Amino acid sequence: MSADEAGGGAPTGAPGRPAPRVLARAEHRLSRSLVSANAIKVLYRLQRAGFDSYLVGGAVRDLLIGRTPKDFDVGTNARPSQVKHLFRNARLIGRRFRLALINFAEETVEVATFRRSPEPPEIEDGGDADVLAPVAEVEEYGTPAEDAWRRDFTVNGLFYNIADYSVIDHVGGLEDLERGVIRTIGEPNARFLEDPVRMMRAVEYAARLGFRIDEETAAAIAAQGAEIRRAAPARIAFELGESLKGGQALPIFRGLEEHGLLLHVVPEAHAALSRRSDGLLWRLLAVADQAVQRGDRVPEEALLGTLFLPSFLTAVEVDGRPVLEIPEAEQVIREELEAPALRLAFSNYRGHLIRHAFMMLLRLSAPPRSAKSVVRTVRHEAFPTAWSLARFLATATGLHKDAVAAWEQAIGRLEQGLPAVEGGRRPEGGEDKKRRRRRPRRRRSGRQIAPAVQGGAA
């Protein structure tokens, strides 16, 4: 695949595979005007340097059905080092397969060299590629056709060629896109065994796009569901995060439950669904989706927290009242979150935030006792998480609605520079020395936070 061969010629298929279907510009609705200016710049610069330059993956899928893509990915036959050479703002990442991230002020465009290996993607830890790590063998790079065939679902395997504005379909994606079907590229059992996270992705796409999962693909999910436990925790956590953050968590998690995956991915949530008759998980996710769709700033830890809240509440509440004293609740929280923290590779900090948010939730279930307690609570790093969860819970169930309203009022007063509780002290004033000396802080053993919790051991 030399640079001279690139761009113009008719696309060829992979050996032993059917020839690709090519839609000329007039035959499809993907308009360049809907591709971000930065992605266009990247596509053209690669093309003008003599390389194949395709828009690939989700952006092609979304634009063909009139949706707004989340981001723009580019596929090329230029090697990562060649890409880096062309773009001053490029950074190479990835250990096994190098990707170039082209950074712009508003977005990052990912440029990947065509490859043949169907290996699951790596989770990027944010750092630059390890220069000592082995770089992908040359043979692992591939042709555009091979690159299409290694992808997960047919609707994700489409290319848009900037050289002639055609759409190239090696994998039957156009037909599935028209019919609204999520289907693996190749035999579904094999593709799911190769990378079990694809089962979660199938459910996620079906819910997000309002598509149905092809019968054979669904049967393979039913057969291979438990294999998801083999997947790298960080990748499962990443996929869960994507599912929670997009404002469509309710249909996605209903899908995960329906296809038997929730049991393996978040067994706590699955168990609470059968133990509680109130469908609390669904109600919480519906409210969380509304918040995300409104554009509220919701910490990812709060979204994750909704998955564990039903089982936690089952353990500490009777008739909507927390019945455990704080030290016991702490113990329950620690026990409830221990397994998920490992299974989903929570960072220490993430574990710490969720644990503290759950503890704080017990405090937020009663009106604030004093201005001081409001100030102390809102300054805690876990407060945004706890506050989102408290509001989700109040909206979803009416639980502690009055207490949450009282806190809301107190926080509002604090934001206006007033004492958080009427007749209380001003926030800046804090506790003056005289007062503190006269009334030493009461120590309630239960309020102390156990070191293991504070340290945030995952």
Question: 104: number of CA atoms within 13 Å, CB side?
Answer: 14
Number of residues that bind ligand ATP (CB under 6 A): 14
Residues 105-134 that bind ligand ATP (CB under 6 A): 120-121
One of 52, 62, 147, 152 is an active-site residue; which one? 152
Handedness of CA 427, 428, 430, 435 (dihedral sign): negative
Query: Is 71 considered catalytic here?
Result: yes
Contact 452, 331 (CB under 8 A): no
- The whole-angstrom separation of Cα 266 and Cα 200 is 12
Collect all residues with Cβ–Cβ distance below 8 Å to 62 and sequence separation of at least 6: 68, 69, 70
Site for Mg ion in 36-65 (CB under 5 A): 58
Cβ proximity to ligand ATP: between 60 and 304 the closer is 60
| 152 counts as catalytic | yes
Per CB under 6 A, does 264 bind ligand ATP? no
Given ligand ATP, Mg ion, none, residue 52, with its beta carbon under 5 to 8 Å by kind, binds none
CA distance 294 to 287: 11
Residue 109: enclosing H or E segment and its boundaries? strand 108-113
Amino acid at 104: F
Q: 3-state DSSP call for residue 73? A: strand
Nearest-approach distance from CB 119 to ligand ATP, in angstroms: 8
Q: How far is the CB of 39 from Mg ion (least distance, A)?
A: 11
Q: Shortest approach of ligand ATP to residue 215 CB, angstroms?
A: 21
Spatial contact of 220 and 189, defined as CB atoms under 8 Å apart: yes
151 is in the binding site of which of Mg ion, ligand ATP, none (Cβ under 5 to 8 A by kind)? ligand ATP
Q: Which range binds ligand ATP by CB under 6 A, 152-160, 300-308, 334-342, 422-430?
A: 152-160
Q: Name residues whose C-beta falls within 8 Å of residue 185's C-beta, 6 or more positions apart in sequence.
A: 148, 149, 150, 151, 152, 153, 154, 157, 171, 191
* 403 neighbors 366 (Cβ within 8 angstroms): yes
**Tokens standing for 90?**
């490029």
DSSP percent split of the chain into helix, strand, coil, nearest 5 = 55, 10, 35
Using the contact rule CB under 6 A, the part of the chain among 26-34, 150-158, 160-168, 352-360 near ligand ATP is: 150-158
**If residue 436 lies in a helix (H) or strand (E), which one and from where to where?**
helix 433-438
Specify the residue, 58 or 340, whose C-beta has the smaller distance to ligand ATP: 58
d(CA 432, CA 250): 48
In the bound state with ligand ATP, the residue whose beta carbon lies nearer, of 120 and 279, is: 120
Cβ pair 170, 148 in contact under 8 A: yes
Residue 146 lies near ligand ATP (rule: CB under 6 A): no
Of 192-251, binders to ligand ATP (CB under 6 A) are 195, 197-198
When the beta carbons of 157 and 305 are compared against ligand ATP, the nearer one is 157
Cβ burial of 442 (10 Å; 0-12, 13-18, 19+) is exposed
- In 266-400, which ranges are continuous DSSP H helix? 267-275, 280-294, 300-316, 326-343, 348-364, 371-379, 383-397
Least separation in angstroms between residue 96's CB and ligand ATP is: 14
| Stretch of 12-20, 191-199, 311-319, 428-436 lying at the interface with ligand ATP (CB under 6 A) | 191-199
Annotation marks residue 73 as catalytic: yes
**Active-site residue among 73, 176, 195, 289?**
73
Closest approach of ligand ATP to the CB of residue 141, in Å:
16
Bridge partners (DSSP) listed for residue 74: 55, 111
Structure token pair of residue 444: 């309630």
Task: Name which position in 57, 225, 310, 419 contacts ligand ATP (CB under 6 A).
Answer: 57
Which of 71, 175, 227, 338 contacts Mg ion by CB under 5 A? 71
Query: Least distance from C-beta 197 to Mg ion, angstroms?
Result: 15
Q: Closer to Mg ion by CB, 200 or 333: give it.
A: 200
Least separation in angstroms between residue 324's CB and ligand ATP is: 40
Of residues 156 through 185, those in contact with ligand ATP by CB under 6 A are 156-157
Q: Which amino acid is at 298?
A: V
Q: Residue 71 interacts with ligand ATP (CB under 6 A)?
A: yes
The distance of closest approach from Cβ of residue 302 to ligand ATP in the complex, given in angstroms and rounded to an integer, is 21
Chain residues that interact with ligand ATP, rule: CB under 6 A:
57-58, 70-71, 73, 120-121, 151-152, 156-157, 195, 197-198
Which active-site residues does the annotation give?
Answer: 71, 73, 152
